[in-house]
Amino acid sequence: MDNEQNIPSPSPIEIIKDNSNYLRGTINESLADPLTGGMQPNDQVLIKFHGTYQQQDRDLDEERKHQKLEPLYSFLIRVRVPAGVTTAEQWLAMDSLSDEYGDKTLKLTTRQAFQFHGVLKRNLKKTIQEINKSLLDTIAACGDVNRNVMCSANPFESPIHAEVAEDAKKISAHLTPRTNAYHEIWLDGKLVEGGEKEEEPLYGKLYLPRKFKIAIAIPPRNDSDVLSNDLGFIAIVEDGELIGYNITVGGGMAYTFGNTATYPRVADVVGYIPKEKIVEASEAILIFQRDHGNRSERKNARLKYTIDRLGIHFFHAEIKRINGTVLRPNREYHFDSMGDKYGWIQSADGFWHYTVFVEGGKLVDKNGYLAKTALREIAQIHQGTFILTGNQNVVIAQVTKTQKPLIEKILKKFKVINATGISSLRQNSIACAALPYCGLAFAEAERYLPTLIDRIDQVLEANDLFKVPISIRMTGCPNGCGRPFLAEIGLVGRAPGLYNLYLGASFTGERLNKLYMEMVNEDQIIDLLSPIIQHFAQARTKDEHFGDFVIRKGYVKATTAGKYFHA
Ligand code: SF4
């Protein structure tokens, strides 16, 4: 309801934040309540800022209902890993925590983070404490704050990659919330007295209107999917030196079925800054969104809508007013892919780096395929680091010449997929977690996409396209955690077994796809894709990508901007 001045009322979440005393709420009381495995509703909102979500095992819902039990509540915990870099010791700690307190799986997310699923309330605090002991944390991994800052994978590939990864860490540290609530609640830190003032200089007590995502890409690879972020930086290199960044604003994937006022959006490239201004520019743009984002309608609260509503000229003027950030004209850049380079590469300093394909980002020992064990054994001897990639894979980085054969031996012993024997479609696949834990999922994603790819692979093989790179992404709902609207073949769950099929995104993450067919099942997906794939095999031009082909041949219209996604 509007007030007398016709100012829209803040959304209920804004009121929860306002009354939370800087994200404390009654989380401690909820944790101590032995009568339920869940948290109080307001605390369910607040714990997201601390890096955890309440979920329930939806596979067991019916059975539990029958037994007159509450749903089997458990918690997702997301571990913030700026630029995706972890030590071998940290890897071992995450691996062991997933076995001890989680569901024995380790999810590598599309934002270079670790995710545990299935953690029971009684183990939540212990797990977060153990994560902090390993010098990682979960603060701001979720919630209306800046999330994990992504970066082109492998900072050890070149000095430029290293410099850019350092910038990602600087931004992450600068934009981390300052509230002491996290330490009080999870780490038994000293309580801030009731009336005592706490400083949250960047965010204020309401934090941001919605989540805020930042990524950095180093052309020609767009492996961080930079244009899907609220704020992005594209590294500009001249004569072998990093000189600065093009800034991108207003990317975001989510939309709501049936609501055309919501849409995914590819970010606009709005200017250039010299490299030393990256933290200052990040702060200005975050403050712009803090002050101008929509706080009454969460579905329209992301920066992408603020930019479309207020216009780019206002944006430029405001960030200049906030802290003097002035954007210069964009510099030239070129992307050629969004994917990871699998297998071994050697960097100029002589180290080796091996990118392991992890299907759906899910590390689990299952059906005789012991990828989780293999990486644990590698971590036990590895003297370098592990890098989580934005494509849900992992790089075993900084391997010495002496260690290379030892690591290779473990990979071979466990037959860990090195991506050479699989289709390029599978190599370029992403799936969100979806069922059984995600409460928003309408359909399967991570558990099902591998099976669907088996069938599409047969069509590709029959058309001699098995090794032609095509991107495919599946999510259980249109919230877009797996960035499905930037895939050449996008599949988004509508109901159990039914998906919307989207086609026509660019292979480089610079153009969204478009709805091709609604509510299709597996056989229909294969029936729809087969003739298009066959046509692609016969009529594509040299090096033409599938997403460009389906537009050239009129299967779908090109989506030239987010607001035309539904047109
Ligand atoms: Fe859940 Fe939807 Fe995100 Fe998938 S995209 S994890 S179904 S919210």
46-75: pLDDT as tens digits: 999 999 999 999 999 999 999 999 999 999
Cβ pair 459, 526 in contact under 8 A: yes
* CB of 375 shorter than 6 A to ligand 1: no
Other beta carbons less than 10 A from residue 163's beta carbon: 16
So what's the pLDDT on residue 247?
Answer: 98
- Please tell me the distance between residue 444's alpha carbon and the centre of ligand 1 in angstroms: 10
Q: Looking at 221, 304, 426, 432, which residue is catalytic?
A: 432
Q: 433: Cβ below 6 Å to ligand 1? A: yes
Residue 196 pLDDT: 54
Cβ 476 under 6 angstroms from ligand 1: yes
CATH code of the domain containing 256: 3.30.413.10
For residue 384, the CA-to-ligand 1 centroid distance in Å is 33
434 lines ligand 1 (CB under 6 A): yes
Does 429 lie in the same domain as 378?
A: no
What is the C-alpha to C-alpha distance for residues 218 and 160, in angstroms, rounded to an integer?
Answer: 9
pTM: 0.95
DSSP reduced 3-state for 232: strand
**436 and 397 both lie in a single domain:** no
Structural domain includes residue 33: no
What are the counts of helices (DSSP H) followed by strands (DSSP E) for the chain?
17, 22
Whether 277 is in a domain gets the answer: yes
Q: CA–CA separation, 360 vs 473, rounded Å? A: 9
Question: Quick check: is 78 catalytic?
Answer: yes
Q: How far is 384 from 275, CA to CA, in rounded Å? A: 28
Query: Does 432 qualify as catalytic in the annotation?
Result: yes
Q: Is 481 tagged catalytic?
A: yes
Closest approach atom of ligand 1 to CA 493: 7
DSSP state of 260: T
Q: Are 214 and 302 part of one and the same domain?
A: yes
Burial class from Cβ neighbours inside 10 Å (0-12, 13-18, 19+) for residue 336 reads exposed
Mutate to test the pocket of ligand 1, among 110, 437, 475 (most ligand atoms within 8 A of CB): 475
Query: Ligand 1 in contact with 475 (CB < 6 A)?
Result: yes
Find the 150 Cα to ligand 1 centroid distance in Å. Answer: 19
1 has pLDDT over 50: no
Catalytic residue among 17, 210, 213, 341: 213
Q: Which domain holds residue 278?
A: 150-191+201-339
| 156's tokens | 């050890």
Q: What's the confidence (pLDDT) of residue 421? A: 85
Residue 197 pLDDT? 61
| Interval 123-137: pLDDT, tens | 999 999 999 999 999
For 21-37, what is the mean pLDDT? 96
Between the CA of residue 387 and those of 18, 138, 377, what are the distances in Å? Answer: 37, 17, 16
Instruction: Write the CB contacts of 426 (distance below 8 Å, at least 6 apart in sequence).
Output: 357, 359, 450, 453, 457
Contact 511, 559 (CB under 8 A): yes
Residue entry with tokens 């989380």? 27
Average pLDDT, the chain: 95
**How many folded domains does the chain comprise?**
3
The Cα–Cα gap between 315 and 249 comes to 10
Which regions of 371-488 does DSSP assign to beta strands (E)?
Answer: 385-388, 394-399, 429-431, 472-475
Residue for token pair 């490239």: 269
User: Which of the listed residues 56, 438, 444, 447 should we mutate to test ligand 1's pocket, taking the one with most ligand atoms within 8 A of CB?
Assistant: 438
Dihedral class, residue 539 (left if φ above 0, else alpha if ψ from -120 to 50, else beta): alpha
- List of residues 6+ apart from 409 with CB closer than 8 A: none
| Cα dist from 563 to 241, 248, 250, 252, 542, whole Å | 37, 17, 12, 12, 31
Residue 268 lies in a domain: yes
Q: Give the separation between CA 56 and CA 47, rounded to whole angstroms.
A: 15
Instruction: Please give the number of the atom of ligand 1 that sits closest to the Cα of 480.
Output: 5
Nearest to 327 by CA among 234, 407, 217: 234
Among 371, 392, 421, residue at a domain's last position = 421
Q: Give me ligand 1 centre to Cα 110, in Å.
A: 12
Q: Does 463 share its domain with 502?
A: yes
The pLDDT tens digits of the residues spanning 72-106 come to 999 999 999 999 999 999 999 999 999 999 999 99
Q: DSSP letters of 413-430?
A: HTT---SSSS-HHHHTEE
27 in any annotated domain: no
pLDDT over 90 percentage in the chain:
92
| Residues 309 and 443 both lie in one domain | no
The residue type of 363 is L
pLDDT tens sequence across 175-226? 999 999 999 999 988 665 554 567 799 999 999 999 999 999 999 999 999 9
The band of 157, judged by pLDDT with boundaries at 50, 70 and 90, is: confident
* Atom 2, ligand 1: residue with shortest CA distance: 477
| pLDDT for the residue numbered 159 | 93
Residue 170 bears catalytic tag: no
* 250, 293: one domain: yes
Would the CB of 445 count as within 6 Å of ligand 1?
Answer: yes
Reduced to 3 states, what is the DSSP secondary structure of residue 376? helix
CA 486 to CA 253: how far, in whole Å? 8
Q: Is the residue at 45 inside a domain?
A: no
Domain limit, last residue, from 421, 455, 488:
421
| Tokens 């091996």, located at residue | 354
Cα of 547 vs centre of ligand 1, distance in Å, is 24
- The verdict on the CB of residue 479 being under 6 Å from ligand 1 is yes
CB 228 within 8 A of CB 201: no
Assign 364 to helix, strand or coil: coil
In a domain, 196, yes or no: no
Q: How far is the CA of 439 from the centre of ligand 1 (A)?
A: 8
Residues 434-468 pLDDT 10s: 999 899 999 999 999 999 999 999 999 999 999 99
Residue 211 a catalytic site member: yes
Are residues 224 and 271 both part of a single domain? yes
Verify that 299 and 316 share a domain, yes or no. Answer: yes
Concerning whether 438 is annotated as a catalytic residue, the answer is yes
Distance CA(199)–CA(421), nearest Å, equals 54
pLDDT at position 419 over 70: no
- Residue 343 Cα to ligand 1 middle (Å): 29
Whether 488 and 541 share a structural domain: yes
Does ligand 1 lie within 6 Å of residue 256's CB atom?
no
Ligand 1 center–CA 162 separation, angstroms: 32
Angstrom distance (rounded) from CA 370 to CA 491: 28
pLDDT band at 529 (very low <50, low <70, confident <90, very high): very high
Residues 6+ apart with CB under 8 A from 25: 16, 19, 40, 42, 43, 45, 46
CATH of the domain at 362: 3.90.480.10
Question: Based on the domain organization, do 270 and 353 belong to the same domain?
Answer: no
Residue 15 counted as domain residue = no
Give CA–CA dist 62/529, Å, rounded: 35
Burial of 563 (0-12, 13-18, 19+ CB in 10 A): middle
Domain end, chosen from 339, 369, 404, is at 339
Residues 325 and 364 in one domain: no
Instruction: Write out the H or E segment, with its range, that includes residue 249.
Output: strand 241-249
| Helical residues (DSSP H) of 113-180, grouped into ranges | 121-133, 159-174
For the chain, the 3-state helix, strand and coil shares in percent, each to the nearest 5, are: 35, 20, 45
230/376 same-domain check? no
Residue 445 Cα to ligand 1 midpoint, Å, equals 9
- For 464-491, b/e burial (b = at least 16 CB within 10 A) is ebbebbbbbbbbbbbbbbbbbbbbbbbb
141 vs 127: CA distance, rounded Å: 15
> Do the beta carbons of residue 338 and residue 509 sit within 8 Å?
yes
Q: Which among 440, 444, 491 is the best mutation to test ligand 1's pocket, defined by most ligand atoms within 8 Å of the CB?
A: 440
Nearest C-alpha to atom 3 of ligand 1 is from which residue? Answer: 481
- Ligand 1 neighbourhood includes 491 CB (under 6 angstroms): no
Distance from the CA of 474 to the center of ligand 1, in angstroms? 10
Catalytic residue among 17, 111, 211, 473: 211
The ligand 1 atom at the shortest distance from the C-alpha of residue 477 is 2
Q: Best of 56, 142, 477 to mutate for ligand 1, by most ligand atoms within 8 A of CB? A: 477
pLDDT attached to residue 415? 86
Check: CB of residue 121 under 8 Å from CB of residue 38.
Answer: yes
How far apart, in whole angstroms, are the C-alpha atoms of residue 366 and residue 103? 13
Residue 456 domain flag:
yes
